[in-house]
């Protein structure tokens, strides 16, 4: 958090999403997974202006960032199988199926890429929503600073009120009538 704040504090202001929430979230998820710190700047530069999943002529990039991630995580998984470390990527790389067989590297890579992309996007939206709620309710920052035990509940409530993933699903497998609907 301090590292990312240091990139703009001297300016006295920032655009929160692009200057803090997105790069902070990316670095947190990268650290959690075990992406080597020497690769962090490359990850930040690749994803700085990306809208993951946006395709077509209007897309902000000429390359697919998920393909880039797949290449990176494939190499990380290969490396962790050769040289285990104390990180999540090693645990994924060393995991076995119930029958004792080793999953294909591509399967582990797909899971790693998904964890990275989904974790980054979800965390970015959570941090941004939390900041918006603090900005919309004067005094809430002081309440959280004065009693830091309330931060967990605040973040859970932020997730409840402003879910990072907005979608709906049709769950019924058969046509069902409830009342007259």
Dump pLDDT digits (tens) for 125-166. Answer: 999 999 999 999 999 999 999 999 999 999 999 988 887 766
Contact 76, 115 (CB under 8 A): no
What pLDDT does residue 58 have? Answer: 53
pLDDT digit string (tens) for 73-123? 999 999 999 999 999 999 999 999 999 999 999 999 999 999 999 899 889
Q: First-to-last CA distance in the chain? A: 50
CA separation for the pair 17, 121 (Å, rounded): 11
**Cβ partners under 8 Å of residue 134, min gap 6:** 140, 141, 144
* pLDDT tens, position by position, 47-85: 775 554 454 555 444 557 778 899 999 999 999 999 999
> Residue 129: which of 7, 25, 6, 8 has the closest Cα?
25
Q: Calculate the CA 125 to chain-centre distance.
A: 9
Predicted TM-score (pTM) of the model is: 0.75
């Amino acid at each position: 958090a301090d590292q990312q704040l240091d990139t703009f504090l001297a300016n006295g202001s920032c655009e929160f999403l692009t200057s803090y929430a997105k790069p902070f979230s990316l670095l947190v998820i990268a650290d959690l997974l075990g992406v080597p710190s020497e690769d962090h700047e490359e990850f930040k530069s690749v994803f700085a202006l990306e809208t993951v999943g946006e395709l077509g002529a209007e897309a902000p990039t000429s390359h697919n960032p998920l393909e880039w991630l797949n290449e990176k995580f494939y190499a990380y998984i290969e490396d962790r199988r050769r040289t285990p470390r104390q990180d999540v990527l090693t645990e994924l790389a060393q995991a076995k199926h119930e029958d004792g067989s080793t999953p294909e590297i591509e399967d582990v890579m797909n899971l790693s890429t998904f964890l990275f992309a989904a974790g980054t996007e979800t965390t970015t939206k959570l941090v941004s929503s939390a900041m918006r709620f603090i900005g919309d309710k004067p005094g809430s920052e002081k309440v959280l600073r004065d009693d830091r035990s309330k931060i967990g509940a605040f973040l859970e409530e932020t997730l409840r009120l402003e879910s990072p993933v907005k979608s709906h699903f049709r769950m019924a497998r058969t046509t069902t009538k409830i009342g007259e609907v």
